Structure 1
Amino acid sequence: MLQPRMARLLLLPGYALLALTLIGPLITTLVISLGRRAPSGGYETALSIENFASVLSRSTAFLNTVQLSAFGAAICILAAIPVAFFIAKHLKGSVRYTVLFLVVLPFFTSFVARTYAWYFALGGRGLPAVLEWIGLGRFRFLNTDFAVAIGIIYAYLPIAILMLFVAFDRIGDDLLEASNDLGRGKVETFFSVVIPLAMPGLISTYSLLFILLSGEYLIPMLLGGGKVYFIGNAIVDLFLQSRNWPLGSAVAISLMSMMIVVAFLSQIFQRMANRDGRIG
């Protein structure tokens, strides 16, 4: 058995990597956010919180991000629940793992390539052309909230399925059988037993999806065409076009702060679910 001192020494490389890749960039971003924009663009040393006051000028981007992230996470969970429950409780052995492999199969291809596939599918020569040929009229999907929502759901649905599969799989079959023996049907058992027991998993899945979607950049850029403006797009524009690095860093720090709040609230709600006896 390892001595405590030896165990701490073995953890040092991991701590060093964490400090280099996570803490270091966060501190750098915070320092830049307290500076000011140089006359020619970029960063100039200063000590000011004016950039954080100017974050409100990007309120539209924050509002779009929160709305579409909340909506996308909710739709992903609603779509994932029946699939994850079916895999967890109705598939066994090699069939279960084959289906799980098919769920994660899209991750074996480039995220950019998959997003571009939707760009062409929702473009004028894709789905709108098919609907017009059928006689349903002319539709425009690209560069709309609908296109961004489709891209978000497609990209993040596998994550929701995997996380909810774990939550449902942890629920013992004996609890479902006991509920059925007490006269409850399958639908009543699902809503009165399965959902309450899986509530902590549902909360953690929603919060993770919301955090991931809040930092999304590529999908709004390609499928939204700049008309659906996420905070990630605002940060890129501030750094690359306006070259206002301090304001861009302040917006990034504000976004990370929002994610931390969401993660903190998620922990609170999960503890409330546990304390209320919703999980055994």
Structure 2
Amino acid sequence: MNYFYLPLEEWTNDFVNDWLIPTLGPFFDAIGGMIGSLLEWINWMLNAIPAEILTIIVVALAWYLAGKGVAIFSLIGLLYLGSVDLWGEGMQTLAIIFVSTFLSIVIGIPIGIWSAKSEGVQRIVRPVLDFMQTLPSFVYLIPAILLFGLGGVPAVISTFVFATPPCVRLTNLGIRQVPGDVVEAARAFGSTSGQMLIKVQLPLALPTIMAGVNQTIMLALSMAVIAAMIGAPGLGSIVLSGISSVNVGLGLVGGLGIVVLAIILDRITQGLKPER
């Protein structure tokens, strides 16, 4: 039963079309240009390295950080990407993941630290993060298309919005979980707020912060197929092509490639997490 009519749709469209795009269009174009340049550079770098050399680097890194089992899986997984001729698409997906994760870390960790230091900021940031996490991921695609067009840039933006909350939340949690007696001892020895943060709180909170980074990477990968709907290149586009053409084999090939990358990145980033 409609007790009154709320023209939210009209208000939103008027705001976007009459003010947001005409006023802030050049700003979004500049942001899109910088992200696009970074994305192209990382994609070029990943493809410029011979596949054999990059495989050796990843396997060695996996062995050093996560052990022999993960190194063997990484070798098999990367050989799989090459054997099904999806190496280039895999590197495109990695480029999007790297850029969106970089933005999430650069923006998310400082916001998490600020939230841990200020209850006022915490009260503002918490509902925003709730909104970002509960809003259906498909909804992110609409403003991304309007403001940045089609391709890799809107994919990075929508992935960044979807994947940033864990980084902010777990950074906030890690700082708040630092024992109070340790903080008091550092303060008693004359530590400034900056020294306490850098030398005491961040090192003790690092395992929790790295867990947030790990979850950010996993969420970014989960957006690969969804972002393909707005022109994002990579393995997600392969899966989307399989869905649109009802090609089960093509969808399976692309989906397994995403699973391979997800497991490799998950295990390597878990190996980066220091023990308390």
Structure 1 length-normalised TM: 0.61
Q: Does 1:215 align with 2:222?
A: yes
Match of 1:187 among 182, 194, 210: 194
Change (3 A) 1:269 1:158: closer
- SS of the aligned residue for 1:57 comes to coil
Cα deviations across residues 58-92 of structure 1 (Å, max 9, x unaligned)? 22221111122122112212211222122223217
Change (3 A) 1:57 1:268: same
Give matches, 1:232-251, under 5 Å. 232-241=236-245, 243-251=246-254
Q: Kindly provide the amino acid, as one letter, of the partner of residue 105 in structure 2.
A: I
Give matches, 1:1-280, under 5 Å. 52=80, 55-91=83-119, 96-97=122-123, 99-120=125-146, 122=147, 141-216=148-223, 217-222=225-230, 226=231, 228-241=232-245, 243-270=246-273, 273-274=274-275, 279=276
Structure 1 contact 55–250 (Cα < 8 Å) conserved: no
**How far did 1:109 drift?**
3.5
Runs of 5+ unmatched residues, structure 2: 1-78
Distance 2:261 2:128 in 1: 33
Distance 2:81 2:153 in 1: 32
- SS of the aligned residue for 2:233 comes to coil
Distance 1:53 1:196 in 2: 37
**How far did 1:244 drift?**
3.9
Structure 1 contact 235–251 (Cα < 8 Å) conserved: yes
Structure 2 contact 105–167 (Cα < 8 Å) conserved: yes
Q: Kindly provide the amino acid, as one letter, of the partner of residue 135 in structure 2.
A: T
Structure 2 contact 81–257 (Cα < 8 Å) conserved: no
Structure 1 contact 215–231 (Cα < 8 Å) conserved: no
Runs of 5+ unmatched residues, structure 1: 1-50, 123-140
In the alignment, which residue of structure 1 is the partner of 2:29? none
* RMSD (Å) for aligned C-alpha atoms: 2.7
Cα deviations across residues 103-142 of structure 1 (Å, max 9, x unaligned)? 212344333223212322x1xxxxxxxxxxxxxxxxxx42
Structure 2 contact 175–201 (Cα < 8 Å) conserved: yes
Structure 2 contact 166–215 (Cα < 8 Å) conserved: no
Structure 1 contact 215–232 (Cα < 8 Å) conserved: no
Q: Kindly provide the amino acid, as one letter, of the partner of residue 235 in structure 1.
A: V
Distance 1:66 1:88 in 2: 31
Change (3 A) 1:83 1:145: same
Change (3 A) 1:257 1:148: closer
Structure 2 length-normalised TM: 0.61
Distance 1:55 1:252 in 2: 15
Between structure 1 and structure 2, the one with the greater Rg is 1
- Of all paired residues, the percent bearing the same amino acid is 15
Q: Kindly provide the amino acid, as one letter, of the partner of residue 221 in structure 1.
A: M
Structure 2 contact 239–255 (Cα < 8 Å) conserved: yes
| Structure richer in helix, relative to its length | 2
